[in-house]
Amino acid sequence: MNSMDEPNEPKTSDPKALVDRRDFLGGATVLAGTSLLGLASAARVEAAEGMAVADRMPPIPAEKWTDAQKKAAEEITSGPRKELVGPFIPLLRSPEYMSRLQKVGEYLRYKTNLGSNISEFIILLIGRHWTQQFEWYSHESLALKAGIKAETIKAIAEGQRPAAMTADEETIFEYVTELLLHQSVSDHSYGRVVNRFGEQGVIDITGLCGYYTLLGMLMNVTRTPLPPGIAPPLATFPH
């Protein structure tokens, strides 16, 4: 997984703005303690402040790897990711699971027909939902390179609906936000995605949401840290 070139400093959100901001879906008020993309929690805040807590599953020294771990690590480092970093550090504890999972991730990230702009947009939405610092750090610069506007990325980081999305970004934003808020999507949002990306697109977009949700949960639970000296790029929401 590539690292971003120039990570942003943490952003500070105005608590009153978070209380007063209204969800674009049905005008529901987004209360303090929630992001637009879902509820904050004490565990998520604790994970987001990962610089202050110990990594629960730090790297296993290579000389202690089992044969299965060596094989799983080789699959990662010889593939498009090149490095064994981030979620694959804790995942190495279950090498067969890591091997199977990383193949799914390789497809979803590199081999769908969605385009990197759509994939990176989804990854940022999920990373913000989970306040997953490593995922955001790793993908913010990739999103910029994929053509996502800096102001769009900033709005997502602040838990807001971006003001000037492309038509594709708006379609994805509505779909992903509904899925995270309601655990399903309306016929309207579903139809927009089918019309634009096809039924395979629905599967791949939903798969990206699930895959990066899994990685977000995993790294929040194991407290996967940022590289040394890197400040958390995402502010936490009031709770």
- CATH number of the domain to which 109 belongs: 1.20.1290.10
206 is written with which tokens?
A: 């939903």
Closest by CA position to 184, among listed 206, 208, 214, 211: 206
pTM for the whole structure: 0.78
Assign 52 a pLDDT band (cuts: 50, 70, 90). low
57 pLDDT above the threshold of 60: yes
Residue 110 has a CB neighbour count (10 Å cut-off) of: 12
What is d(CA 197, CA 3) in angstroms, rounded to the nearest whole number?
29
144 pLDDT above the threshold of 50: yes
Assign 238 a pLDDT band (cuts: 50, 70, 90). confident
Task: Tell me whether residue 161 is in a domain.
Answer: yes
What is d(CA 13, CA 2) in angstroms, rounded to the nearest whole number?
27
Task: Tell me whether residue 9 is in a domain.
Answer: no
Contacts of 164 (CB under 8 A, 6+ apart): 149, 151, 152
Task: Tell me whether residue 77 is in a domain.
Answer: yes
194 is written with which tokens?
A: 């089918």
Task: Tell me whether residue 234 is in a domain.
Answer: no
pLDDT average, residue stretch 156-180: 96
112 pLDDT above the threshold of 80: yes
Task: Tell me whether residue 113 is in a domain.
Answer: yes
Range of the domain at 152: 15-222
User: How many domains does the chain fold into?
Assistant: 1
Task: Tell me whether residue 10 is in a domain.
Answer: no
Closest by CA position to 122, among listed 176, 80, 182, 61: 176
42 pLDDT above the threshold of 70: no
Average pLDDT, the chain: 83
Task: Tell me whether residue 150 is in a domain.
Answer: yes
Note the pLDDT of residue 239: 60
pLDDT average, residue stretch 97-118: 94
Assign 13 a pLDDT band (cuts: 50, 70, 90). very low
Q: Which amino acid is at 98?
A: M
Contacts of 199 (CB under 8 A, 6+ apart): none
